[in-house]
Structure 1
Amino acid sequence: MTETLERRGMSMKVRAEAALTQSPQPVICLDQVTKCYGTVQALRGVSLRIEAGESVALLGPNGAGKTTAISLMLGLLRPSTGRVLLNGGDPTVPAVRRAARLGAMLQNARVIDLVRVRELLDVFRSYYAQSLPTDELLEIAQLREKQQSYTQHLSGGELQRLLFALALVGNPRLLFLDEPTAGMDVASRRRFLERIRELHRDGRTIVLTTHNLADVEGLSQRVIVLNEGRIVADGSSEEIRAMASGQFVSFLAEEQNDQLLAAIPGVLRIERQGPRVVLFTRDSDALLKDLQRHGIATPHLEIRRASLEEAFLALTRREEEQP
């Protein structure tokens, strides 16, 4: 089995490297893109570049604009204003999409019933001149034992892995994965994320959307945080972690002091939990000194480090409150 996996990995790497062509322009470019659905602005002046071979995670809470951004990159939507380019061309043009060698696993995708897993993969392979072998796809998606099962009998996690296999059928150079781990158990999710790492190591460009911070740890070179249709952060996983890191300082305080507390520069977020006030800050020592200078007592003081999830929520909430 180990030799089989090694041969499979080598064959995928050779095919990916052979397919990869160097280009002076980025694979994806969004230039001041806005997308509106009626009066709702899903994206608000978003600009970004994704280069060939990058592994990029679009991170943000539900409704942040991640799926809309992916749909624009795939040419499934047109921007309301601004410009979207795929390898320098218009992604809504079929010839541009074909030349880009795309693969996509979309959040709202469905598969037909009354067909077996292997049969469905064979049908999709017939649409491509250079497709991956069915056995290889089954191995990648961990569906070998389910190849004769009908699609309607698959669990949620198994269905996600089938959609992943379908996205890989055409041996894509550029792979879009929209909330790919939804419905997967912990073990399946870990194996799935390792498959994505392998694909990136093979030279493919990966664009992943998720609201799960754990999905991007050790996976994506670059993390773009979206919130309320805007980019609020763009950097490496380590840089995003440093940006979002912080502490919670809580103590007993009267509600009439909340406005004064919120005005202190070191307070990034303020919450009320009954008689306790909870302050989110990046530097608890500096904040305590500021509280002392303002003559604010801190009875029953508690200080704890924020989890990455809590810090991320504090980061995005802070952006929501800015005009």
Structure 2
Amino acid sequence: MRDGSPSRAWRLPSGCMIQDKSNGCSKVTWVEHVEVDDRTQTHRLYRDLICGRSAYGAERWIASLRRICERLAFYKEETAAAREFGGVITSPEGRKSIVNLAHRMVKIFFASLGMSGKLDFPQLSEVHNSGVRVAIRKNTEQGQPIGMVVSAATSLWLPLSPQNVFNFFKDEKSRIQWDILSNSNPVHVISHISNGTNPGNCISITHQPFIPTENNMLILQESCTDSSGSMVVYAPLDIPAMNMVIGGADSSIIPILPSGFVISGDGRPDTGGDSSTSTSSTGADSGGSLLTVAFQILVAGPNVTSSTELNMESVATVNTLISTTVLKIKAALNCSNLG
């Protein structure tokens, strides 16, 4: 594996030990043995995170395990608080169907970040940015829109704690500050489902009541945070499809194309200065945050024949969208001086 892989990190014998505590709980001991080589091959944005213990350490696996177990416990909960339903989701079956759809949405989102056959654009490749990566694929799989899909992603450093950045994105009132497609119209939460003890771990359904041309669309969003990092993933759904899911129908056939944000600490020690860079629950001892912004857009239907002209036009559109979004995020967080 070491000789044939282009990766600069190798996992050596690792694993976990699980001990039954006879009270319905388990004690998990996790051991990670990872070798990370050659700092010069790692992008400067990620160097401290990758070459420290944050990216590959056992703490990350334990945090993920805790979050998954907690999510599963909330999923199996037969009786949820009435306030979660918001008058929209009226049955346990509908609640589980929404949770299943959100789970699949998150899986599709993270799979899209792999970007096989990606194209690199240097326009945003500055000191605090990793540049924009774009991938074009023709999707034929059920559960996602059929046709030509353009994915784009970029990462940037922000001099703010991961918790502050996460709070900004999970707050629906902040959406008009970064979402270009909202046309500066506010969104309203019409349903909320908790999937963890942290208030930030939840699934929500929102709509934009002041956009007549979009009044048949809703937004499904899942936000999640733990000590290893945070995410906010969302996707538009039309009202008939959402009604099917809320009614308890099989959500695996609903086509969904998510976009979103991934937030983590930068792996640098806290300087102890400004409170915005203090230690938080997402990225302990972090001097700042690494934010990854990723969009997916359906640019053509299933009958389109792939052409260079279509591809380049689509790439230009999504590149402009993600670049403009990054500028709006920096402005909203008072970080425009980062360049």
Task: Give me the TM-score of the superposition, normalised by structure 2.
Answer: 0.22
TM-score by length of 1: 0.23
Give the strand-richer structure, 1 or 2: 2
